[in-house]
A and B are shown apart, each in its own frame.
Chain A
């Protein structure tokens, strides 16, 4: 199950965050700061899966943006890795480049395509129509 989904820029500022389990606001900032620190400090040679507390982080870097997904132990890390890529491709097709101003719509896409922490529609054209 996906626990959370973060988009973070290189300076460490959260651009988008979506939690699928309840986490208090102040805990969220702490969590984000730690997670980001973990991922930013890794070099290119290291693998994209990190163990953090009791879940695993899968992260991927796209130019200046990091996408980090927290998953629990039962999830297939590589499938999630693909999911991130798929998601970015959708964004890419829909908006000419991934921009923060459209985050509102992003949230909508999120809620509709990743209901309850599971992926329901990886169909790209469908996602464009939402």
Chain B
């Protein structure tokens, strides 16, 4: 067999390949040659073959058949063999292969070899790919080598120790004694690796951190020497002495100084010195300054130092080099929360960065700008940000739009400005606006009552030309539906009123409905808007009726459902139509992250926009009530829902949706004008801000509902003047025993014709000896004025055991329910 070719030839050959296929062919041929050579167990050329194999591995071709060969090379005595063998092991083997354990013995022997280079190789390999078992076995050897005086070995041992600690954190204590003298070395290599080792230890264990805090003075001294020392050719990089070591030390100082006043104080001087003395003309200096700034920000430095740091960052921002600007923006973003005023000073520079060409810089600048917006600069900043929104890449538009909305909400100087800003965002980046922005906007518009005419006019003009941007069209259709009468009547104080006829308005809405560009949700909005206009407009009702009936047979199920219901409104329930389609009331302010509770008010008209159906909070109480149901065994008892009446409106809406079927509720909830948000219609008056117990009928006698085992429960009654079917019962639970009762839970069930609502109790512990009580409010709706009956279930812990009791309350006074 001819001698295998050298690596160089192989590389040359491969480079001549023109196509990927040619290259693959060459590699495969060579692989075959290598494989046959391995089979022949040829010692002389093994090293050459493995070298070629490694090269091919680097190019991305599979080379696992060389693993055993690497092991054989490691076991050989020749240094060149060993070198390639270890290199191969590092590249080809890792802890997932079982073969690697065979190496352990070899490495152990080599760690004790007489030649330092062989020891070095072994350390390198262990540090690269040692598995936890290998590390455990060999940690002792590594620790021994950490203490030698040979600096070549010491530095490698230190990094190997880092790897061991990463793999087996429990062994950290083992290396502790060896670290004592590490920092006393003169050799920079050893210093550097020691600092890495210390950093790793401090990051992993808070005890180590506390232990190493005493090294701070020593570190400061080393750093000082580095800065002060003259030119040293060995460590010089562009005029600065060993910048890598400086950066490392700064990082370690950062970790040590975090949350610790003493260490931070010791570091203050040196940090100031580094910050002022480092030359900034080259990138090296800037790298060091960057690390210094990060350190200053992280430790408890004095304010003068912080201001210095921020000024450095400001200087970075003005630098022409992109890298430096990027780095400055990132750091400013981190510090803007804590040092807000200092960063404000650089606002104009940051805003300029918005116009930069680089994508990363633009993103940082945008985030930072949003963080800097406050009441004073909001107008100027918004102008810049809107301009940015116009010209930025699509990937930014969504974030930018949301950011603008948030900022506008917080700092809007006037309502008109706010609405103008929103309009501008909708028209420029309309399709990138997030979905939850639409309900928020609608709520905002509703709340600015005096701006309704202006708003609707502007929105109308906006979609007149172009109705492809969905969020814009959705908001516009909603507004036109609500305030169409203002639009047509031509009243507008803020702007020149335009003359619009009812037909033109309907034209636009119909074109939205027909257009291919409209999403299904948008069409829903448009149809509802048309329907609402039937009460606002006077002469086009027939047209509206026609439109609505056409969509009764639409393919889109949502549209069809709406159209059919609206049709029914026209036909069977025309008397209800004006009340149902009335103007929306002012909505309560909800947080921007709230689900679509806002539009649940007129459940009838906005049903499709109800994205969230009854939240699961309704489920849990239902489970509790199920036990009552079992016990009461009757089908005439309805389960209790203790709190969270949010499930109610959806069901109220749901029942109303069933216009074609039976109406289960009586007429009263349906025609309740402008029900409040998230309130069951019938308990409307009870849950508003009006005090509950104002409108009281003449005193109704209170009763003792339950009195057993020292637990007494009293009921006191109140009737509401505004709604005679509602009885408000306040229960008071008291405990006359000598031990307190904990985890007290009160549950109640009523017959089917009643509806019950339990509010939260004042606490769940009844103190002993009647020294305190638990109060809880129950509301009962009794529309049919039947005799009030109630079953109650009590569970509590008393004298260390769980107690439970059921009782029926029949002694309600007639005034409480008649």
Name A residues whose Cβ lies closer than 8 Å to a Cβ of B.
14, 16-17, 20, 22, 25, 28-29, 32, 43, 45-51, 76-79, 81-83, 85-86, 100-101, 103-104, 107-108, 111-112, 115-116, 118-123, 125-126
Given contacts A47-B326, A81-B283, contact A22 B96 (CB under 8 A): yes
B360-A50 in contact (CB<8A): yes
B189-A121 in contact (CB<8A): yes
Contacts A48-B323, A120-B192, A123-B189 known; list 7 others, CB within 8 Å.
A16-B58, A47-B323, A49-B326, A78-B324, A79-B244, A104-B55, A122-B192
Given contacts A107-B87, A120-B189, A121-B189, contact A78 B283 (CB under 8 A): yes
Residues in chain B near residue A86, CB distance under 8 A: 237
Q: What are 28 pairs between A and B in contact, CB < 8 Å? A: A14-B59, A22-B94, A43-B357, A47-B325, A47-B360, A48-B323, A49-B323, A49-B327, A51-B360, A76-B247, A76-B251, A76-B294, A78-B283, A78-B323, A78-B324, A78-B327, A79-B247, A81-B283, A82-B287, A100-B11, A107-B58, A111-B87, A115-B156, A115-B160, A116-B160, A116-B162, A120-B159, A125-B234
Q: How far is the CA of A108 from the CA of B80 in the complex (A)?
A: 12
Residues in chain B near residue A25, CB distance under 8 A: 60, 62
Q: How far is the CA of A56 from the CA of B644 in the complex (A)?
A: 47
Could you mark each residue 273-290 of chain B with 1 if its beta carbon is under 8 Å from any beta carbon of chain A, else 0? Answer: 000000000011011001
B124-A115 in contact (CB<8A): yes
Residues in chain B near residue A119, CB distance under 8 A: 192, 244
Given contacts A104-B54, A118-B159, A122-B244, contact A111 B327 (CB under 8 A): no
Q: Is B347 an interface residue (CB 8 A)?
A: no
Residues in chain B near residue A47, CB distance under 8 A: 322-323, 325-326, 358, 360-361
A104-B284 in contact (CB<8A): no
B162-A118 in contact (CB<8A): yes
Number of B residues near A (Cβ < 8 Å) is 61
A104-B358 in contact (CB<8A): no
Q: How far is the CA of A17 from the CA of B15 in the complex (A)?
A: 17
Q: Is B745 an interface residue (CB 8 A)?
A: no
Least Cβ–Cβ distance between A90 and chain B, in angstroms: 11
Nearest 8 interchain pairs by C-beta: A47-B322, A78-B287, A115-B159, A46-B358, A47-B326, A79-B247, A47-B323, A79-B287
Q: Is B12 an interface residue (CB 8 A)?
A: yes
Contacting residue for A111 out of B90, B237, B357, CB 8 A: B90
A49-B360 in contact (CB<8A): yes
Given contacts A79-B287, A81-B287, A112-B120, contact A123 B7 (CB under 8 A): no
Contacting residue for B290 out of A51, A76, A125, CB 8 A: A76
Least Cβ–Cβ distance between B102 and chain A, in angstroms: 19
Q: How far is the CA of A107 from the CA of B55 in the complex (A)?
A: 10
Q: Is B83 an interface residue (CB 8 A)?
A: yes
Q: How far is the CA of A29 from the CA of B381 in the complex (A)?
A: 45
Contacting residue for A104 out of B51, B290, B291, CB 8 A: B51
Q: Is B523 an interface residue (CB 8 A)?
A: no
Least Cβ–Cβ distance between A120 and chain B, in angstroms: 5
Q: Is B8 an interface residue (CB 8 A)?
A: yes
A81-B54 in contact (CB<8A): no
Q: Which residue of chain B lies nearest to A112 when distances are taken between CB atoms in the complex?
A: B124
Q: Which residue of chain A lies nearest to B197 when distances are taken between CB atoms in the complex?
A: A118
Residues in chain B near residue A28, CB distance under 8 A: 60
B51-A46 in contact (CB<8A): no
Q: Which residue of chain B lies nearest to A119 when distances are taken between CB atoms in the complex?
A: B244
Q: How far is the CA of A124 from the CA of B357 in the complex (A)?
A: 37
Residues in chain A near residue B196, CB distance under 8 A: 118, 120
A77-B124 in contact (CB<8A): no
Least Cβ–Cβ distance between A81 and chain B, in angstroms: 6
B244-A46 in contact (CB<8A): no
A101-B243 in contact (CB<8A): no
* Residue of B90, B237, B361 with most chain A CB atoms under a 10 A cut-off: B237
B159-A116 in contact (CB<8A): yes
Residues in chain A near residue B8, CB distance under 8 A: 101
* Residue of A49, A82, A103, A107 with most chain B CB atoms under a 10 A cut-off: A82
* Residue of A100, A108, A118 with most chain B CB atoms under a 10 A cut-off: A118
Residues in chain B near residue A76, CB distance under 8 A: 247, 251, 287, 290-291, 294
Given contacts A25-B62, A46-B358, contact A116 B323 (CB under 8 A): no
Least Cβ–Cβ distance between A98 and chain B, in angstroms: 14
Residues in chain B near residue A49, CB distance under 8 A: 323, 326-327, 360
Least Cβ–Cβ distance between A6 and chain B, in angstroms: 10
B360-A108 in contact (CB<8A): no
B128-A115 in contact (CB<8A): yes
* Residue of A32, A78, A82, A119 with most chain B CB atoms under a 10 A cut-off: A78
Residues in chain A near residue B127, CB distance under 8 A: 115-116
Q: Which residue of chain A lies nearest to B90 when distances are taken between CB atoms in the complex?
A: A111
Q: How far is the CA of A89 from the CA of B237 in the complex (A)?
A: 10
Contacting residue for A45 out of B54, B242, B322, CB 8 A: B322
Given contacts A14-B60, A22-B94, A111-B87, contact A46 B359 (CB under 8 A): yes
Q: How far is the CA of A107 from the CA of B87 in the complex (A)?
A: 8
Given contacts A100-B11, A122-B242, contact A77 B247 (CB under 8 A): no
Could you mark each residue 79-112 of chain B with 1 if its beta carbon is under 8 Å from any beta carbon of chain A, else 0? Answer: 0000100110011001010000000000000000
Q: Which residue of chain A lies nearest to B91 when distances are taken between CB atoms in the complex?
A: A107
Chain B 355-404 interface residues, beta-carbon cutoff 8 Å to A:
357-361
Q: How far is the CA of A22 from the CA of B359 in the complex (A)?
A: 31
B124-A111 in contact (CB<8A): yes
B189-A45 in contact (CB<8A): no
Least Cβ–Cβ distance between A113 and chain B, in angstroms: 9
Q: Is B446 an interface residue (CB 8 A)?
A: no
Q: Is B163 an interface residue (CB 8 A)?
A: yes
Q: Is B46 an interface residue (CB 8 A)?
A: no
A111-B155 in contact (CB<8A): no
Least Cβ–Cβ distance between A38 and chain B, in angstroms: 11
Residues in chain A near residue B287, CB distance under 8 A: 76, 78-79, 81-82
Q: Is B188 an interface residue (CB 8 A)?
A: yes
Q: Is B676 an interface residue (CB 8 A)?
A: no
Residues in chain B near residue A22, CB distance under 8 A: 94, 96
Q: Which residue of chain A lies nearest to B294 when distances are taken between CB atoms in the complex?
A: A76
Q: How far is the CA of A119 from the CA of B287 in the complex (A)?
A: 16
B286-A78 in contact (CB<8A): yes
Q: How far is the CA of A74 from the CA of B283 in the complex (A)?
A: 19
Q: How far is the CA of A104 from the CA of B53 in the complex (A)?
A: 11
Q: Is B793 an interface residue (CB 8 A)?
A: no
* Residue of A45, A101, A111, A116 with most chain B CB atoms under a 10 A cut-off: A116
A108-B358 in contact (CB<8A): no
Given contacts A81-B323, A116-B162, contact A104 B286 (CB under 8 A): no
Residues in chain B near residue A16, CB distance under 8 A: 58
Q: How far is the CA of A120 from the CA of B242 in the complex (A)?
A: 12
B237-A122 in contact (CB<8A): yes
Q: Which residue of chain B lies nearest to A115 when distances are taken between CB atoms in the complex?
A: B159
Q: Is B235 an interface residue (CB 8 A)?
A: yes
Contacting residue for A83 out of B11, B58, B244, B286, CB 8 A: B244
Could you mark each residue 181-199 of chain B with 1 if its beta carbon is under 8 Å from any beta carbon of chain A, else 0? Answer: 0000000110011001000
Q: Which residue of chain A lies nearest to B195 when distances are taken between CB atoms in the complex?
A: A118
Q: How far is the CA of A25 from the CA of B294 in the complex (A)?
A: 37
Residues in chain A near residue B327, CB distance under 8 A: 49, 77-78
Residues in chain A near residue B359, CB distance under 8 A: 46
A82-B283 in contact (CB<8A): yes
Contacting residue for B193 out of A14, A111, A120, A125, CB 8 A: A120
Residues in chain A near residue B90, CB distance under 8 A: 111
A78-B290 in contact (CB<8A): yes
Q: Which residue of chain A lies nearest to B187 when distances are taken between CB atoms in the complex?
A: A123
Q: How far is the CA of A77 from the CA of B120 in the complex (A)?
A: 29
Least Cβ–Cβ distance between A100 and chain B, in angstroms: 6
Least Cβ–Cβ distance between A102 and chain B, in angstroms: 9
Q: How far is the CA of A62 from the CA of B91 in the complex (A)?
A: 26
Least Cβ–Cβ distance between A53 and chain B, in angstroms: 14
Q: Which residue of chain B lies nearest to A77 when distances are taken between CB atoms in the complex?
A: B327
Q: How far is the CA of A116 from the CA of B12 in the complex (A)?
A: 31
Q: How far is the CA of A77 from the CA of B674 in the complex (A)?
A: 60
Q: How far is the CA of A79 from the CA of B196 in the complex (A)?
A: 15
